[in-house]
Chain A
Amino acid sequence: MFIKSSILAGINCIKQCTILSKSALIHTSVILRKAEDRKEMLASLPAKDEGTAGEKSVDIDTLFNRRAKSFPDATTATKLFNGIPFNELPICNIRVSPNNTIISVTDYKGVPRLIRSCGIEGFKNTRKGTNIAAQATAVTIGAKAVELGWKTIRVKVRGLGPGRMSAIKGLQMGGLNIVSVTDNTPVSWNPPRPRKQRSL
């Protein structure tokens, strides 16, 4: 009887010990705990869509299509696309940012003819910065460009954001024939000092 009670007492002691060791996880400082919570939350969130699909992964299918000529060379400028030389095709500029997407269509000299953004399209506030908004905008501007008689275009993309990929897809859905995709993101290795970091 005595032995049994002593064993029980021992178990209780161990239980208390484990509780005590758990108390090491309890923070007395509220701010530290908050920062940790935020980190955990950000880690558990799905990755933000920046329209850069394929940046880190390699598709095996694409490796087989290497024989097709994908990059421009000296003869590209005069190559005919739908009867128009490459350097006289109208240009579609897409300006992507995390909060908005602005699409403009210019002729080959760079004179703008059409301009449309997610905000003009009727999306407001955070909804502007979604891939759906970008696609809808691209579809309408694509249809308008077709009305102008510009069916074959080249695309210039600038910046990173959710609309990067979907805007190009939307242009195609709007009835345009896209010849080439160019990246025009301004990147500098010795930029002027950027704005200060966001406080999280």
Chain B
Amino acid sequence: MRHAQFIARTVFVHNNNVEEACRLLNRILGKEEIFDQFRRTRFYEKPYQVRRRVNFEKCKAIYNEDMNRKIQFVLRKNRVDPFPGCN
């Protein structure tokens, strides 16, 4: 992927806090699955491995969706201010 240099994937450092800037950058790149893709393309992934991985990811996404719904159901609040005294 070609991007404008020093515009894309760039984070400013505040108060000489380099570590925090790096962590922010790493978190974003990790969430966007850029690191995952980088690691995956170091070695050739055989077609059977691709199929296995994709199927696993599908199953995981279905499980996560259902689990999130369950958690939201258990945590539901039936009052005007859901978290009194928190704001």
Q: Which residues of A contact B (CB under 8 A)?
A: 52-59, 62, 65, 68-72, 76-77, 86-87, 154, 160, 164-165, 168-169, 172, 177-185, 187-189, 191, 193-198
Asked whether, in the complex, the Cβ of A70 is within 8 Å of the Cβ of B38, the reply is no
Chain B contact residues, CB within 8 Å of chain A: 1, 5-7, 9-14, 16, 18-27, 29-30, 34-35, 37-39, 41-46
Number of A-B contacts (CB under 8 A): 120
Q: In the bound complex, do residue A180 and residue B6 qualify as a contact, i.e. CB atoms below 8 Å apart?
A: yes
A55 to B42, CA, bound (A): 19
From A72, A164, A193, A198, B10 is in contact (CB under 8 Å) with A72
Distance, CA A148 to CA B29, complexed state (A): 33
* Chain A residue, CB-CB nearest to B42: A194
| In the complex, chain A residues whose CB is within 8 Å of the CB of B34 | 183, 185, 187
Select from chain B the residue with minimum beta-carbon distance to A54. Answer: B23
Contacts of A77 in B (CB 8 A): 6
The 6 closest A-B pairs by CB, nearest first: A54-B23, A55-B30, A183-B9, A182-B10, A197-B43, A55-B26
State whether B43 touches A54 (Cβ < 8 A): no
Q: Is the beta-carbon distance between B13 and A195 smaller than 8 angstroms?
A: no
The answer on a CB contact under 8 Å between A193 and B6 is: no
